[in-house]
Chain A
Amino acid sequence: MKIVIIGNGMVSYKFCEKIIAKAPAGTLEIVIFGEEPRPAYDRVHLSEFFSGKTADDLLMAPASWYTDNHIRLHLGDPVQQIDRVHKTVHSYKDITETYDYLIIATGSSAFVPPIPGVDKKGVFIYRTIEDLELMRDYAPKATRGVVIGGGLLGLEAAKALLDLGLSDTHVIEFAPRLMPRQIDDNGSRMLQHKLESLGLHIHTNKNTAAILGEDTISALQFADDSILEADMLVISAGIKPRDELARLSGLETGHRGGILVNEQLQTTDPSIYAIGECALYNGMIYGLVAPGYEMAEVAASHILGDQKAFTGFDMSTKLKLIGVDVASFGDPFAPADTCRSIVFEDTMKGTYQRINISGDGKLLLGGILIGDADAYNMLLQTTKNKIILPPNPEDLLLGARGGNTETGAGVMGLPDDALICSCESVSKGAICTAVEAGNETLGDIKKCTKAGTCCGGCVPMVKDLISGTMKAQGKYIRNVICEHFTYSRQELFDLIHIKEIRSFDDALDHYGQGDGCEICKPVVASIMASLWNDMILEKGNDTVQDSNDRYLANIQKGGTYSVVPRIPGGEITPEKLLVIAQVGLKYNLYTKITGGQRIDLFGAHLSDLPAIWEELINAGFESGHAYGKALRTVKSCVGSTWCRFGLHDSVSFAIRIEERYRGLRAPHKIKSAVSGCIRECAEAQSKDFGIIATEKGWNLYVGGNGGSKPQHAILLASDLDSDTCISYIDRFLMFYIKTADPLTRTATWLNKLDGGITYLRNVIVNDSLGIAEQLEAEMQALVDKYKCEWKEVVENPELRKRFNHFVNAPGAKDPTVKFNPLREQKQAAEWK
């Protein structure tokens, strides 16, 4: 049997993969014509081309895959004619091939609206690697970028422009809102707000009338006569199915485009199939890859005599747009007369969540998630599998906080035929069976089931299924550190404690194997620092410190370092400010006030660090541990000493706290703040532990986080006196240090803690484990051992020697370090 395929895109490739797997060896002859110069590549991840992936990285399979499978691949050679009578196709390079079955998988092209001026230089579309290469070459000349189209692809193109360095990027949408096809008004508003806060300029209700400029674009003119200047334009106003060849050969096409197909993907000629984005099924073009793959499966099966049917496809999507989660599933817009909607909108966090529930309250029909789509997979499965809802359906959205919902249990409750990976159509049953057969890592599951290999959206669920299945088999799931230590951090912490291990080599000899690596070395170093608080650069342990700890400074672009002296509570005398100024001038450092109420001096050469610190230490400064997984800053507001609302002296308390925990090393960095009243000017509720003054004392909050997943801290105890507050913090921090996984902030740790805040409160406040006294004593021992590590380096010639760029030319600076002027200071040279 001879099959000819027109087009070598994602769906064409998937069709080959499927039919080869199904057909008996040696029974097929396959010929592919592709218009593009390279074999099929992953268009879904096209944008990664701008974040460093090469065209080769994106290939679905290397060219050798086709030869290995005896497929003849003609690239850069589009088919120009189909002769249905003689069953042949004829190509641009004059090749004629006969076929028994013909597969049209020509995909689609970008729809370019007929606006005058679209042919000017600087106007691009966003579909192929060549399009991206053209954009990449053009971008350095441009400063303002514009995208026409505020849909999925348009926003992705806007991200690409940002990645290309066009910080002034605008999106033009004809409709009154973004992504009109996937999300509702309120969701769009939230999305727009979030994207604008990230620096994107969005114009809705704008109809582009003309593209202005000589032969190069200079501006866009709109129907309302307003004008927007532009150096570069990407048009992303929708897709147009590539049906021209089919139409030419007399196959029926829809009047708005697309090749008409039946449930078996046959066109009006039964020996010709159309699959992927060029196919029109039931009045619908499916512009996503998963339905295309399903079509490939059905067509391949049908050709081999198996009766499968394509009956439409779920268009649920989840994606990250410029770092903002957006998801839409089931019926996102279900009207109010047939269903009830539950909506949560948090304008502070910028999240919008809507779920639509059937009139009888039993079933989930669909919904929209903006800003936080963690619940997507579970909600989608609940919708698809018609799972009966709990009595309070809002728990579906709110359940996560507090630790009483065990992750994984939810996924395990799904029926076996629940589709987990929709791209590769892998069911829950298939994954669990594979786990039971011994494939116990994500990599193994990807290899043997293909789940999670395409868009990656199901990976969190696959992971939960792996651990869920292993638990059900009675297997203990060990969260091991790496190949050198098959223990969890908590286990290793206890072992190192009991055996009083003080060097990495000892730890390795007793509990590990091999020589260690960049994962386990910093973990062991951090555990030892949290237990013993010895000088971290002591012989033997110096080279196991994470790279910033090893040089007691953060490394920067170009290889210089930053210097951050501690300024407890943000309070500093004019005399000390003068010292910082002098040091900055003398060593030519860029100075900046940080977000943590202190001053960072950037651009120091490695060999200058000891001299810089010597001057600072002589003036009474000490290390700020900006480089360590350690206490960073305790921010404070000015408090009752000056502020008319202040209830207590927040600055003095912040300084007391910062000086108590300075240098304390932990699984991740720790931040704190003290506010003098409920107006909260120090932002204490965004910290790992935060304190707010009340009429009667202090409220203590824990588990807050800024960063990419911000989270407010939760109240642990109220109206405490200062000493009690400190003893609770002692207990809290020590308990965290002893039990958290590596590189886990307190917020994530608390989210995962069984029993959540209720349990934590019992341990810390009610001493339910009877360990409070011990935790306090352990903390006191660390506090008593504190020394400024920079002072120790400055005073120790052996340690100072380590701060040289060249071992054989001490003092010589790295000649490759380059700076560029920036305002009245300097900046690191951009990396190449």
Chain B
Amino acid sequence: MEITTSKPSTMNWFYACKVTDVPANGGVCVKYGEEQIALFRFARRDSWYATQNLCPHKQQMALSRGMTGTQEGEPKIACPFHKKTFSLSDGRCLSDETECGITTYPVRIEEDHVYIGVHAG
């Protein structure tokens, strides 16, 4: 296993959208340059998550349209295509150990604004 640590100093926070733009307990897709990031709002727990929008299973830009949920307390997202599920806290695939994981991003809420953190450079 490869463990990478993030250097907080190089984190770039960009403005994604307003809190109310994201449906409760659902997701939206945020455009960041050429990249696509899926942003999820867990209204029940008042927490936010962001991941890559690309599902690694069949390379589909679809995770933002998936269904959120939990598995034994761990927040997850199910891809709309074949329902593979990924942990929103660390990105690993929960339904299939052999499937690749996904990248996750930190999310910050300031008043009514949602910011997503990406590594600079």
Q: What string of 1s and 0s marks CB contacts (under 8 Å) between B81-115 and chain A?
A: 10101000000000000100000000000000000
Establish whether residues A517 and B23, one from each chain, have CB atoms under 8 Å apart when the complex forms.
Answer: no
Cβ-neighbour of A56 out of B29, B39, B80, B98 (below 8 A) = B98
Give Cα distance in the complex from A546 to B26, angstroms.
12
Chain B residues contacting A559 (CB-CB under 8 Å) are 60-62
Chain A residues contacting B78 (CB-CB under 8 Å) are 517-518
A678 within 8 A of B: no
- The residue in chain B whose Cβ has the minimal distance to the Cβ of A543 is B26
B76 nearest CB across to chain A (Å): 7
Chain B residues contacting A809 (CB-CB under 8 Å) are 31
Count how many chain B residues have C-beta atoms less than 8 Å from C-beta atoms of the other chain. 40
Establish whether residues B31 and A806, one from each chain, have CB atoms under 8 Å apart when the complex forms.
Answer: yes
Give Cα distance in the complex from A27 to B60, angstroms.
54
Chain A residues contacting B31 (CB-CB under 8 Å) are 806, 808-809, 812
A517 nearest CB across to chain B (Å): 3
Cβ-neighbour of B29 out of A516, A544, A805 (below 8 A) = A805
Chain A residues contacting B16 (CB-CB under 8 Å) are 807-808
A547 within 8 A of B: yes
Chain B residues contacting A557 (CB-CB under 8 Å) are 58, 60
Establish whether residues A518 and B83, one from each chain, have CB atoms under 8 Å apart when the complex forms.
Answer: yes
Give Cα distance in the complex from A816 to B78, angstroms.
20
Give Cα distance in the complex from A44 to B6, angstroms.
44
A831 nearest CB across to chain B (Å): 4
B88 nearest CB across to chain A (Å): 11
Establish whether residues B44 and A515, one from each chain, have CB atoms under 8 Å apart when the complex forms.
Answer: yes
Give Cα distance in the complex from A557 to B76, angstroms.
23
A832 within 8 A of B: yes
Establish whether residues A517 and B26, one from each chain, have CB atoms under 8 Å apart when the complex forms.
Answer: no
- Given the known interface contacts A505-B44, A544-B25, A558-B60, the answer about A518 and B98 at a Cβ–Cβ threshold of 8 Å is no
Cβ-neighbour of A550 out of B22, B42, B59, B65 (below 8 A) = B65
Establish whether residues A802 and B81, one from each chain, have CB atoms under 8 Å apart when the complex forms.
Answer: no
Establish whether residues A807 and B65, one from each chain, have CB atoms under 8 Å apart when the complex forms.
Answer: no
Q: What string of 1s and 0s marks CB contacts (under 8 Å) between A538-552 and chain B?
A: 011011101110110
* Interface residues in A780-807 (C-beta closer than 8 Å to B): 802, 805-807
A374 within 8 A of B: no
Give Cα distance in the complex from A53 to B67, angstroms.
26
Chain B residues contacting A544 (CB-CB under 8 Å) are 25, 67
Establish whether residues A515 and B62, one from each chain, have CB atoms under 8 Å apart when the complex forms.
Answer: no
Q: What string of 1s and 0s marks CB contacts (under 8 Å) between B9-40 and chain A?
A: 00000001100011111101111001010010
- The residue in chain A whose Cβ has the minimal distance to the Cβ of B21 is A807
- The residue in chain B whose Cβ has the minimal distance to the Cβ of A53 is B98
A598 within 8 A of B: no
Give Cα distance in the complex from A551 to B23, angstroms.
13
Chain B residues contacting A54 (CB-CB under 8 Å) are 98
* Interface residues in A469-508 (C-beta closer than 8 Å to B): 483-484, 505, 508
Give Cα distance in the complex from A806 to B76, angstroms.
21
Chain B residues contacting A542 (CB-CB under 8 Å) are 23, 26
Establish whether residues A547 and B30, one from each chain, have CB atoms under 8 Å apart when the complex forms.
Answer: no
Chain A residues contacting B52 (CB-CB under 8 Å) are none
Chain B residues contacting A808 (CB-CB under 8 Å) are 16-17, 30-31
Establish whether residues B24 and A831, one from each chain, have CB atoms under 8 Å apart when the complex forms.
Answer: no
B117 within 8 A of A: no
Count how many chain A residues have C-beta atoms less than 8 Å from C-beta atoms of the other chain. 42
Pick the most buried of B72, B85, B98: most chain A CB atoms within 10 A of its CB: B98
B71 within 8 A of A: yes
Establish whether residues A832 and B58, one from each chain, have CB atoms under 8 Å apart when the complex forms.
Answer: yes
Give Cα distance in the complex from A812 to B80, angstroms.
21
Establish whether residues A543 and B68, one from each chain, have CB atoms under 8 Å apart when the complex forms.
Answer: yes
Establish whether residues A514 and B67, one from each chain, have CB atoms under 8 Å apart when the complex forms.
Answer: no
- Given the known interface contacts A57-B98, A518-B85, the answer about A555 and B80 at a Cβ–Cβ threshold of 8 Å is yes
Chain B residues contacting A514 (CB-CB under 8 Å) are 70, 73
A814 within 8 A of B: yes
A662 within 8 A of B: no
A501 nearest CB across to chain B (Å): 16
- The residue in chain A whose Cβ has the minimal distance to the Cβ of B75 is A515
Cβ-neighbour of B30 out of A540, A806, A815, A832 (below 8 A) = A806
- Given the known interface contacts A514-B73, A807-B17, A807-B22, the answer about A814 and B61 at a Cβ–Cβ threshold of 8 Å is yes
B86 nearest CB across to chain A (Å): 12
Give Cα distance in the complex from A809 to B16, angstroms.
10
Chain A residues contacting B45 (CB-CB under 8 Å) are 515
Establish whether residues A831 and B58, one from each chain, have CB atoms under 8 Å apart when the complex forms.
Answer: yes
Give Cα distance in the complex from A815 to B22, angstroms.
21
A131 nearest CB across to chain B (Å): 21
B66 nearest CB across to chain A (Å): 7
A521 within 8 A of B: yes
- The residue in chain B whose Cβ has the minimal distance to the Cβ of A812 is B31
Establish whether residues A515 and B80, one from each chain, have CB atoms under 8 Å apart when the complex forms.
Answer: no
Give Cα distance in the complex from A57 to B72, angstroms.
25
- The residue in chain B whose Cβ has the minimal distance to the Cβ of A540 is B24
Establish whether residues A543 and B25, one from each chain, have CB atoms under 8 Å apart when the complex forms.
Answer: yes
Chain A residues contacting B75 (CB-CB under 8 Å) are 515
- The residue in chain B whose Cβ has the minimal distance to the Cβ of A805 is B29
Establish whether residues A516 and B70, one from each chain, have CB atoms under 8 Å apart when the complex forms.
Answer: yes
Establish whether residues A517 and B29, one from each chain, have CB atoms under 8 Å apart when the complex forms.
Answer: no
- Given the known interface contacts A540-B24, A542-B26, A808-B16, the answer about A555 and B65 at a Cβ–Cβ threshold of 8 Å is yes
Establish whether residues B65 and A547, one from each chain, have CB atoms under 8 Å apart when the complex forms.
Answer: yes
Cβ-neighbour of A547 out of B22, B59, B69, B80 (below 8 A) = B80
Give Cα distance in the complex from A419 to B41, angstroms.
52
Establish whether residues B22 and A483, one from each chain, have CB atoms under 8 Å apart when the complex forms.
Answer: no
Chain B residues contacting A505 (CB-CB under 8 Å) are 44
Give Cα distance in the complex from A505 to B45, angstroms.
12
- The residue in chain A whose Cβ has the minimal distance to the Cβ of B14 is A808
Establish whether residues B69 and A515, one from each chain, have CB atoms under 8 Å apart when the complex forms.
Answer: yes
Chain A residues contacting B29 (CB-CB under 8 Å) are 805-807
Chain A residues contacting B58 (CB-CB under 8 Å) are 557, 831-832
Chain A residues contacting B36 (CB-CB under 8 Å) are 806, 814, 816
Establish whether residues A483 and B30, one from each chain, have CB atoms under 8 Å apart when the complex forms.
Answer: no
Establish whether residues A543 and B44, one from each chain, have CB atoms under 8 Å apart when the complex forms.
Answer: no
Chain A residues contacting B69 (CB-CB under 8 Å) are 515-518, 521
B78 nearest CB across to chain A (Å): 4
Pick the most buried of B45, B62, B76, B80: most chain A CB atoms within 10 A of its CB: B80
Give Cα distance in the complex from A521 to B66, angstroms.
12
- The residue in chain A whose Cβ has the minimal distance to the Cβ of B34 is A815
Chain B residues contacting A807 (CB-CB under 8 Å) are 16-17, 21-22, 28-30, 39
Give Cα distance in the complex from A660 to B80, angstroms.
31
Give Cα distance in the complex from A831 to B76, angstroms.
24
B105 nearest CB across to chain A (Å): 15
Give Cα distance in the complex from A559 to B79, angstroms.
12
A97 nearest CB across to chain B (Å): 34
Cβ-neighbour of A483 out of B25, B61, B62, B71 (below 8 A) = B71
Cβ-neighbour of A802 out of B23, B30, B39 (below 8 A) = B23
Establish whether residues B24 and A816, one from each chain, have CB atoms under 8 Å apart when the complex forms.
Answer: no
Give Cα distance in the complex from A802 to B62, angstroms.
14
Give Cα distance in the complex from A806 to B23, angstroms.
13
- Given the known interface contacts A515-B70, A831-B58, the answer about A551 and B17 at a Cβ–Cβ threshold of 8 Å is no
Across the A-B interface, the 8 shortest Cβ-Cβ residue pairs: A517-B69, A543-B26, A547-B80, A518-B78, A807-B28, A515-B70, A831-B58, A806-B31
Given contacts A515-B68, A814-B36, 18 further A-B pairs with CB under 8 A are: A54-B98, A57-B98, A508-B44, A515-B45, A517-B78, A518-B85, A543-B23, A547-B65, A555-B62, A555-B65, A558-B60, A806-B30, A806-B36, A807-B21, A808-B31, A817-B61, A831-B59, A831-B60
Q: Which residues of A contact B (CB under 8 A)?
A: 53-54, 56-57, 483-484, 505, 508, 514-518, 521-522, 539-540, 542-544, 546-548, 550-551, 555, 557-559, 802, 805-809, 812, 814-817, 831-832
| A/B interface sample: 5 pairs, CB < 8 A | A57-B98, A515-B68, A515-B75, A518-B66, A808-B16
